[in-house]
Structure 1
Amino acid sequence: MEKPLALSQIEFCNVTKLYGPVAAVKDLSLAVRQGEFLTILGPSGSGKTTALMLLAGFVAPSKGDILISGKSVAAVPSYRRDQGIVFQNYALFPHLTVRRNLEFPLEMRGVKAADRARRVEHILERVHLTDFGNRMPSQLSGGQQQRVALARALIADPPILLLDEPLGALDRNLREQMQGEIKRLHKEFGKTTICVTHDQEEALTLSDRIVVMRAGQIEQIDTPEALYDRPSTRFVANFLGEANILEGDDFKNEANAAQLSGTVAMVRPERVCIAAPAAPKRAEADKRQSVIGKVDDMTYAGPVRKYQVRVGHSMVIVREHVASGQQTFKSGEEVRLEWLRSDVRYVAV
């Protein structure tokens, strides 16, 4: 029996936010399911942060409505929306200990001292900071401060959690660790979570669905796998990872019934194979496309080797996993590139 879809807990209904004549968000309609982890992704100026601020209640829509559990909150102030918020700079009170930072939102809700103490110890255990309750924020690492910020957002048990560039201030290793922590906490608490980020890897790792925004509007919304493997537009293909656009005389392919007018062929760099021109062709050669090019640059990045290969007037990126005994190519060497026709996607220009 097919599992029914969860009900929408948050709805943007034709929301527009104007700053003078400029629409930071334009006619935004979006439904977020209960318990879902949804990430809003986009470049600077795409409207992703404005969308989060509208939901948080820090700015009011110029047009349209925002519903939470079916009720309009467009005119409800932020402090009455019962949402936990984690900011990029954590926004911890520097003059209060970790324990007092966590107690603060409970005090504001009138929770009794004994219950506050119990809930603080419980949440400290959940975020693996049991021994850090008496420390000041300045005595914590960036990852520890981020966990305190998450704990403070969760301690009052709000139904909705908002994350504003939550890992932007951390280095790469800490970001990867905290991605695991956020995923664990989301699974454990089951909160409907809206995350805003410009980090594509973060979005792919954390999300049930991703909204890609451009110029205040939704460009595409789908699961991480579907967005990466089947982008609908050239913008999404280039923004979410790297994309090789196969257009022009350098890539004269057989006519393909799947290609519609106004689209262009695209293949991901990891789907492209590189070999010496005279190397034996791979199996199922009739299902592959190939071109001859010249290596422009090669970058070694631990488990991955990245080539930039010039094919006529175009540049093709190849990403291959490093393996022992693998042939490598230097700048200036001629190579053959090939890919399966089934790996080609057609995206709107």
Structure 2
Amino acid sequence: MHGYDKTTPLHDKPGNDTGHPAIEFRNVTKLYGQFAAVSDLSLNVARGEFLTILGPSGSGKTTTLMLLAGFEAPNEGDIRIYGKSVSSVPSYRRDQGIVFQSYALFPHLNVRRNLEFPLEMRGVKAGERAARVDRILDRVHLSDLGYRMPSQLSGGQQQRVALARALIADPPILLLDEPLGALDRNLREQMQGEIKGLHKEFGITTVCVTHDQEEALTLSDRIVVMRAGRIEQTDSPEALYDRPISRFVASFLGEANIFEHTHFIVESDATRPARSVAMIRPERICISPDDGSTRADSDQRQSVIGTVDDMIYAGPLRKYHVRVGSDLVIVREHVASGQLVFRPGDVVRIDWLRSDVRFVAP
């Protein structure tokens, strides 16, 4: 096993070189035989940014992270960290904190020793190691568990140790590979808040890979949606959700009603581009009885009559499937006291603001 080269740092501290992004992918391609897992990828990550790479299986998101971590080498193009090429730099010299879905803790070492290990590899003296371990354990709320073995910890506690180990050496870049995939829903939500708080506190440039859309929306400054080895769209969570450029992005990032071959004409305040389909998010649609009443802003809305196919109760939300002719429209509304509840077979009116209609590439 290679030792850590303490005499030749990969790069200066981020503050010493403000002319470059933290991370640059320049026309990077990674081939496995004839298959391009990543194809002509160009992407910049700003200093201190939390960027999430999102996509289905086979989209190239994990390969992109492995290229950045140094576990894979590109066939074409270049990867730069703080302006310096790292395409030929081995992973152990890239000075990055990495958190895997499996946590990758040393099972034969207690929590404190797991945290001390990366500091030992960097030649940090024993007194300073102990002080740093104390500080990071306190920050991740594990001060009382320092002498436990990983097998004696819950999944959430192990994830906190993995995060602490990645952060303890103050790396300029943090890489997260499906970090919350092994946790149940409640723990995932709790850890999302923890990760967001740690990122804000430490200000470390972070690249996260996940297939979980909610996780990406919650954590990220920007999201990259990948498809078949290429970037489909990059934007802020709000912009990406509200203004997807393609049917793929609209459908992958949350639910979407795609109006492609409807028996009614979809109205919009915007001009419809050539070769596009109309899209509207389910929560933008209102559902009400077909009783002839109108809304105060009805002149800004489009309404159609349909029949409830199904109603799904999901705690804070109700989701309706409404049949409009041969089309099925999804409506999602927050549960509220005194709210009308519609059942299968009920005839209803659904309506939406014309300004909420988006046009996306098919």
TM-score range, shorter-chain basis? over 0.9
Shift of 1:279: 4.6
- Code of the aligned partner of 1:40: I
- Code of the aligned partner of 1:325: G
Q: Is residue 219 from structure 1 mapped to residue 232 from structure 2 by the alignment?
A: yes
**Does the C-alpha gap of structure 1 residues 123 and 254 become closer, same or farther in structure 2, counting only changes over 3 Å?**
closer
Q: Which runs of 5+ in 2 are unaligned?
A: 1-17
Q: Is residue 120 from structure 1 mapped to residue 157 from structure 2 by the alignment?
A: no
- Code of the aligned partner of 1:105: P
Q: Corresponding residue for 2:101?
A: 88
Q: Is residue 169 from structure 1 mapped to residue 202 from structure 2 by the alignment?
A: no
Q: Corresponding residue for 1:250?
A: 263
Does structure 1 retain, via aligned residues, the 8 Å contact 2:54–2:212? yes
Distance, in Å, in 1 between the alignment partners of 2:321 and 2:304 is: 14
**Does the C-alpha gap of structure 1 residues 233 and 14 become closer, same or farther in structure 2, counting only changes over 3 Å?**
same
Distance, in Å, in 2 between the alignment partners of 1:336 and 1:196 is: 41
- Residue among 199, 205, 221 paired with 1:208: 221
- Residue among 322, 335, 345 paired with 1:332: 345
Shift of 1:332: 1.5
Helix, strand or coil for the counterpart of 1:111?
coil
Shift of 1:249: 3.5
Distance, in Å, in 1 between the alignment partners of 2:189 and 2:86 is: 35
- The two structures have a TM-score, normalised by structure 1, of 0.97
Helix, strand or coil for the counterpart of 1:308?
strand
**Does the C-alpha gap of structure 1 residues 85 and 260 become closer, same or farther in structure 2, counting only changes over 3 Å?**
same
- Code of the aligned partner of 1:331: P
Shift of 1:78: 0.1
Q: Corresponding residue for 1:12?
A: 25
- The two structures have a TM-score, normalised by structure 2, of 0.93
- Code of the aligned partner of 1:153: A
Distance, in Å, in 2 between the alignment partners of 1:201 and 1:255 is: 28
Q: Corresponding residue for 1:99?
A: 112
Deviations 1:210-231 (A, max 9, x none): 0000000000000000000100
Does structure 1 retain, via aligned residues, the 8 Å contact 2:311–2:318? yes
Shift of 1:110: 1.4
Distance, in Å, in 2 between the alignment partners of 1:33 and 1:254 is: 39
Deviations 1:277-306 (A, max 9, x none): 115111111110111111111011111110
Q: Corresponding residue for 2:10?
A: none
- Residue among 56, 66, 71 paired with 2:69: 56
Q: Corresponding residue for 1:184?
A: 197
- Code of the aligned partner of 2:93: R
Q: Which runs of 5+ in 1 are unaligned?
A: none
Q: Corresponding residue for 1:268?
A: 281
- Residue among 290, 296, 304 paired with 1:291: 304
Q: Is residue 303 from structure 1 mapped to residue 303 from structure 2 by the alignment?
A: no
Q: Corresponding residue for 1:147?
A: 160
Q: Is residue 46 from structure 1 mapped to residue 69 from structure 2 by the alignment?
A: no
Q: Corresponding residue for 1:314?
A: 327
Deviations 1:138-175 (A, max 9, x none): 11111110000000001111100000000000000000
Helix, strand or coil for the counterpart of 1:193?
strand
Deviations 1:157-216 (A, max 9, x none): 110000000000000000000000000100010000000000000000000000000000
Shift of 1:250: 2.4
Shift of 1:276: 1.2
- Residue among 19, 23, 28 paired with 2:36: 23
Distance, in Å, in 2 between the alignment partners of 1:75 and 1:183 is: 32
Distance, in Å, in 2 between the alignment partners of 1:141 and 1:153 is: 18
Q: Is residue 74 from structure 1 mapped to residue 93 from structure 2 by the alignment?
A: no
**Does the C-alpha gap of structure 1 residues 268 and 160 become closer, same or farther in structure 2, counting only changes over 3 Å?**
same
- Code of the aligned partner of 2:154: S
Helix, strand or coil for the counterpart of 1:147?
helix
Does structure 2 retain, via aligned residues, the 8 Å contact 1:6–1:34? no
Distance, in Å, in 2 between the alignment partners of 1:85 and 1:331 is: 49
Shift of 1:112: 1.2
Does structure 2 retain, via aligned residues, the 8 Å contact 1:6–1:33? no
Shift of 1:246: 1.6
